[in-house]
């Protein structure tokens, strides 16, 4: 039995203390991220996932958008101070992957395959989840940490303008990545009996 991939899966964690001390080049990081998305399966091979990788000023710009946008959303100055710290921790990362679903492709398949029309949007999201986890894992396998955030939909309009995002791409997640400045705390697991059944 080969458990190598299981060991790599265990390496992937939500890393919240991210930094800029990454030894891989931007080209190498792009190769890993794009490769992971390209190899992720999608229903009917519809390839509905779109990504934008932000480095440098573009990465900073995203997290400035989030911080400014949240100012009008949080109820008090005190809470906003905590929010600002959290956003600063994402900005301290090296880069961010933005994940989108191209709804125009989903709509095409809904027309082409009416029998499964109701399933196509959920399947697109499942494919996206697979892509996010493949990127997260391939980065972890290269000692690059990441976490997954969801400031959509409140940032969608500003992100669309800032990064020239096509109208049909719907923002679904933001993944800051960078050097692992502090490892994740130990993870707890529910009892295996609660979630697994093996029948023979």
Residue 13 in contact with ligand FMN, rule: CB under 6 A: yes
Residue 148 in contact with ligand FMN, rule: CB under 6 A: yes
Q: Closest by alpha carbon to 84, among 97, 69, 99, 96?
A: 69
7, two tokens:
């060991």
119, two tokens:
């399933």
Residue 154 in contact with ligand FMN, rule: CB under 6 A: no
Closest CB to ligand FMN among residues 83, 149: 149
**Can you tell me which of 42, 51, 147, 179 binds ligand FMN, judged by CB under 6 A?**
147
Residue 107 in contact with ligand FMN, rule: CB under 6 A: no
Closest CB to ligand FMN among residues 108, 125: 125
Residue 51 in contact with ligand FMN, rule: CB under 6 A: no
Residue 14 in contact with ligand FMN, rule: CB under 6 A: yes
| Residue 133 beta carbon to ligand FMN: minimum distance, rounded to whole angstroms | 7
| Cβ-proximal residues to 30 (8 Å cutoff; 6+ apart), any chain | 53
Cα 96 from Cα 170, distance rounded (Å): 16
Sign of CA dihedral 179, 66, 129, 48: negative
Please answer whether residues 149 and 62 qualify as being in contact, where contact means their C-beta atoms are separated by less than 8 angstroms.
Answer: no
**Can you tell me which of 30, 119, 149, 168 binds ligand FMN, judged by CB under 6 A?**
149
105, two tokens:
């492709």
| Residue 119 beta carbon to ligand FMN: minimum distance, rounded to whole angstroms | 19
| Residue 66 beta carbon to ligand FMN: minimum distance, rounded to whole angstroms | 12
Cα 85 from Cα 91, distance rounded (Å): 10
Closest CB to ligand FMN among residues 122, 166: 122
Interface segment toward ligand FMN; rule CB under 6 A; list 66-74, 110-118, 146-154, 188-196: 146-154
| Residue 170 beta carbon to ligand FMN: minimum distance, rounded to whole angstroms | 15
Residue 184 in contact with ligand FMN, rule: CB under 6 A: yes
Cα 62 from Cα 178, distance rounded (Å): 15
Sign of CA dihedral 84, 90, 93, 96: negative
Q: Closest by alpha carbon to 24, among 196, 177, 133, 129?
A: 177
Residues that bind ligand FMN (CB under 6 A): 13-14, 129, 147-150, 184, 187
């Amino acid at each position: 039995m080969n458990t190598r991939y299981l060991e790599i899966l265990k390496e992937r964690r939500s890393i919240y203390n991210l930094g800029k001390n990454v030894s891989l080049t931007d080209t190498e990081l792009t190769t890993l991220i794009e490769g992971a998305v390209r190899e992720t399966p999608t229903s009917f091979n519809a390839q509905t996932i779109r990504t934008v990788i932000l480095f440098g000023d573009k990465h900073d710009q995203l997290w400035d958008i989030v911080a400014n946008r949240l100012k009008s959303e949080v109820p008090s100055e005190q809470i906003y101070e905590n929010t600002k710290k959290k956003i600063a921790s994402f900005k301290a990362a090296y880069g961010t992957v933005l994940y989108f679903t191209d709804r125009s492709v989903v709509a095409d398949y809904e027309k082409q395959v009416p029998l499964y029309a109701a399933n196509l949007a959920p399947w697109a999201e499942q494919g996206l989840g697979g892509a996010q986890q493949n990127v997260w894992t391939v980065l972890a396998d290269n000692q690059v940490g990441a976490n997954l955030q969801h400031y959509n939909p409140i940032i969608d309009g500003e992100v669309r303008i800032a990064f020239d995002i096509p109208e049909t791409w719907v923002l679904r997640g933001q993944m800051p990545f960078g050097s692992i400045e502090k490892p994740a705390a130990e993870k707890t697991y529910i009892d295996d009996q609660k979630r697994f059944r093996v029948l023979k």
